Amino acid sequence: MLEEKSLLNKILKSSLNKKERDLINGFIEYDNEAKKRIKKTLKRKFFEESNNVEDAFLVFNKLRQEEENKSMDESPFDFRKIAAASVIVLMICLLGYNSLIKSKNIPNTKMLNRDIVLTMPDGRKTVVDETASVNQKIQNLFVANENTGFDTQALSSIYVPKGKTYKMELSDGTIVHLNADTRLKFPISFENAAMRKVELIGEGFFEVVSNKEKAFVVQSEGLETKVFGTKFNISSYEGSDSNRITLVEGSVGVTSVEDNVRSMLKPNEMFTWEKKNQRYSISKVDVDESTSWLRGLVSFNNTSLAKMIPVIERKFDIKVKLIDENTKAKRFTGELSVNTIEELQAILDATKVFSCAYQANEKILLIK
């Protein structure tokens, strides 16, 4: 008898013959122990080799459909029975997996590299849907674990992966838009705190609720941005050459933690902190350009390819490789409304400045 795992692999490759299909069908319908083993194999196959549940289901369903179509043409055997049974087994796996991520801990973060993840102060984690409320998630976790005595000033964190953005509301009503590859740390409540303080790594746009008695402070890699009620954008990615704070409305004070230098910004001004030489500058800017990511746009203004690369990688969750290192110095200006890497590739190719090739399997964009 062929091993069950071998038969399952043949399902994935659409290479089962009639005898093997009958064997798998028998396993699922008449042998409970074999059914458990098949479930375990499917779970390992799809959830260890896929980035998320949705991808796993789509891949399996596509292969199942291909096999069903092929078998209907080649044989009177009704593959729909085995297909339906296999999908039922897979759905059992899906339900089991979803139960896991809704429980106290997430056992395998490798499966969640495309998910927005909320981490509580005690280490508990949960996946956050892009349309879900973080506050509701936190309340559910507290109620589920009867953790009413928890320190509300301890910091939770939310991480938004590459390829995604997320809008959330803090306990005071402040709205925060988080760009791709961004982490925000925040307390459960600001009620008993002297100030409303959060920590940002990445990029965020803040719409701060006015409270003249309790300042709102954002810590971002050596800088503190202090406001009472305003709208501003902070870009503070690890590995970047500089941190940038752009004021849309109101007023903000920016302080360097190291030397305690404080600067005040007016609307349409940008504070730029050069990390290498520890210097800052304030300049007039077009705030629409600085906040274009909020509208799903990719904006460049005489930007070198070297500085475009991390923006592209975060936006599309890909890797960019240069065939010719001299290409780094080439520059590009434009505001791009693109939702796919193929659209970006077409635009860059059309400039005649760059030549691109996308390797979809590896998620690598080659530029020369």
List the CATH number of the domain containing 277: 2.60.120.1440
Q: Is the pLDDT of residue 80 over 60?
A: no
Residues 278 and 304 both lie in one domain: no
Domain carrying residue 306: 297-367
Under 8 Å between Cβ of 183 and 157 = yes
Place of tokens 């960019």: 320
Q: Are residues 94 and 181 in the same domain?
A: no
Give yes or no: residues 180 and 282 share one domain: yes
- Band (308; pLDDT cuts 50, 70, 90): very high
- Residues 240 and 305 reside in one and the same domain: no
SS3 271: strand
* Percent of the chain whose predicted confidence (pLDDT) is above 70: 64
Given a cut of 90, is residue 258 above it in pLDDT? no
Residue 75, pLDDT > 70, answer no
Give tens-digit pLDDT for 185-198. Answer: 999 889 889 999 99
Is residue 30 predicted with pLDDT exceeding 70?
A: no
What is the pLDDT at residue 284?
A: 96
Q: What is the pTM of this model?
A: 0.68
- Domain boundary pick from 288, 305, 320: 288
Q: 239 and 121, same structural domain? A: yes
C-alpha closest to that of 254 among 222, 207, 229, 210: 222
Q: Residue range 206-234: average pLDDT? A: 93
Question: Do residues 273 and 318 share a domain?
Answer: no
pLDDT recorded at residue 184: 97
Regarding whether 271 and 129 lie in a shared domain, the answer is yes
pLDDT tens readout for residues 264-300: 999 999 999 998 888 899 999 999 999 999 999 989 9
- How is residue 112 written in tokens? 């969640």
The Cα–Cα gap between 315 and 12 comes to 31
Going by pLDDT thresholds of 50, 70 and 90, the confidence category of residue 175 is very high
Domain boundary, last residue among 244, 271, 288: 288
pLDDT of amino acid 144: 46
Final residue before a domain boundary, out of 240, 260, 288: 288
DSSP 259: T
Q: Are residues 243 and 183 in the same domain?
A: yes
